[in-house]
Amino acid sequence: MFSLRFLPFTLISSLLTICLPLSILVESKGCSINAIYSFGDSIADTGNLLQEGPVGLFASIGSYPYGQSYKMPTGRCSDGLLIIDYLAMDLNLKLINPYLDKSANFSNGVNFAVAGATALDRTALLAEGIAMPPASVPLSSQLDWFNSYLNSTCSSQSDCAQKLEEALFLVGEIGGNDYNNAFFQGTSINTAMTYVPQVVQAIVDAAKKVISLGARQLVIPGNFPIGCSPSYLTLFSTSDSSAYDEKKCLIAYNNFSMYHNKQLKSALADLRKSNPDVSIIYADYYEAFMHMLDQASSLGFDEDSLLTACCGTGGGYNYESNLMCGSPGTTVCSNPDQHINWDGIHLTQAAYLVIAQSLVTEGFAYPNDKVQDIWDC
């Protein structure tokens, strides 16, 4: 069994460098969860955008240096594996295949997440003056894919409910692109805060939908601290030292992330009350990331590059929005396992591993007893 709980970080890192096949790391018994169904954006996309044909910022995800630590590009927005991959492996499941790969095996779940996805539909965002890239796939479309999948695989409603009762649903991270697109188009923080209730409601509505279909175990993550992202640190840099915290992250944008997360946690508390028979777990990506920064040295990360991208070019954060990782003129660091950030927007495989460990073993996902019920194997 591969376990995030019992292997030390240094040993796991060496396994990842060797890139052992999952058949060596995974056994097929012991856990009560037999499938994962995932919705979200590039934090969880294991290849859907690649199947669609990535354009714009994500045009290079299907080729090196993306996937270099995994020894092959897979459409993941990282040098290797993602949080969802580690959560699956720790449940003795194989990696969850993207829905748009019609040749894939979906016996252990389906990943509907798409890089660039938003929580809100295009019409809702346009009503707020936020333009969206043409290929964006909102959460509602991912739910439509899920319904199509169920219609093609379940013999009856009760058959579906039984299948979903033994599955884990990862609903998010989602919403980050709703805010990214707003901020990158010049929206103020105060204005963006008015969108938060709509974004949170879209996430909760998705959770309600899968619960109505039979889901009984959900993990719903909050947003990362965007003020620590090289993209934000580059685009919103200022000479005002008071704009930065002791970690050199942008205070105002991190406060915005916390505002979203606070609203989401409150909504999930209400959702638990109305669904007492369902395990609804909040995954605190924000605090897990901050904890990783605090423990960076002991985790093997280079303290001189905590807020700089491994792959990119330009400025103090190695990020240029018009020259994303993989574009001509960009370079990639020689030691991505010692970096937290991969391309200015997404994290490295090593960082995602630490986040996954934090969720399963260190109390950054709660209620903790529900986490242990799921991963007690």
Beta strands in the chain (DSSP E): 35-39, 109-111, 167-171, 217-221, 279-283, 311-312, 331-332, 365-366
Spans of the chain, pLDDT less than 50 = 1, 6-15, 17-29
Question: What local confidence, expressed as pLDDT, does residue 159 receive?
Answer: 83
Both tokens assigned to 272: 């638990």
Rounded distance, CA 225 to CA 187, Å?
A: 18
DSSP output for 155-188 = SSHHHHHHHHHTEEEEE-S-SHHHHHHHHHTT--
How high is the pLDDT of residue 30? Answer: 63
On whether the CB atoms of residues 26 and 92 are closer than 8 A, the answer is: yes
Per-residue pLDDT tens digits for 10-62: 444 444 544 443 333 444 446 789 999 999 999 999 999 999 987 777 889 99
* Class of residue 307 by CB neighbours under 10 A (exposed 0-12, middle 13-18, buried 19+): buried
How many whole angstroms separate alpha carbon 6 and alpha carbon 3? Answer: 6
Which residues fall within 8 angstroms of residue 3, CB to CB, at 6 or more apart? 90
366 C-beta neighbours (distance < 10 Å), count: 14
Residue indicated by tokens 């539909």: 121
**136: part of which helix (H) or strand (E)?**
none
Helix (H, G, I), strand (E, B) or coil at 143: helix
Catalytic residue among 90, 284, 337, 343: 343
To the query of whether residue 42 is one of the catalytic residues in this protein, the response is yes
Long-range contacts of 317-323 (CB under 8 A, 24+ apart): 317/230, 317/233, 317/234, 317/344, 318/230, 318/344, 319/230, 319/231, 319/233, 319/234, 319/343, 319/344, 320/234, 321/57, 321/184, 321/231, 321/234, 321/235
Compute the distance between CA of residue 352 and CA of residue 354 in angstroms, rounded to an integer. 5
What local confidence, expressed as pLDDT, does residue 364 receive?
98
Please say whether the beta carbons of 96 and 22 come within 8 A.
Answer: no
Under a CB-based contact definition with an 8 Å cutoff, are residues 96 and 36 in contact? yes
What tokens were used for 126?
């346009």
> CA 303 to CA 297: how far, in whole Å?
6
- What's the confidence (pLDDT) of residue 26? 40
For position 25, what pLDDT does the model report?
Answer: 40
- Characterize the bridge pairing of strands 311-312 and 279-283: unpaired
The catalytically annotated residue of 60, 229, 346, 358 is 346
> Any bridge partners for residue 50, and if so which?
none
Can you tell me the distance from the alpha carbon of 124 to that of 128, in angstroms, rounded to the nearest whole number? Answer: 7
DSSP class of 193: H
Integer CA distances (angstroms), 229 to 54, 265, 356, in order: 22, 22, 19
Structure tokens at 173: 């991270």
pLDDT at 161: 84
Catalytic one of 3, 38, 42, 257? 42
3-class DSSP string for 96-125 = CCECCCCCCCCCCEEECCCCCCCCCCHHHH
- Give the count of beta carbons closer than 10 Å to the beta carbon of residue 298: 8
Cβ partners under 8 Å of residue 330, min gap 6:
311, 312, 313, 320, 323, 324
Cα–Cα distance for residue pair 225/299, rounded to 1 Å = 19
pLDDT of 293-333, one tens digit each?
Answer: 999 999 999 999 999 999 999 999 999 999 999 999 999 99
- How far is C-alpha 273 from the chain's CA centre? 26
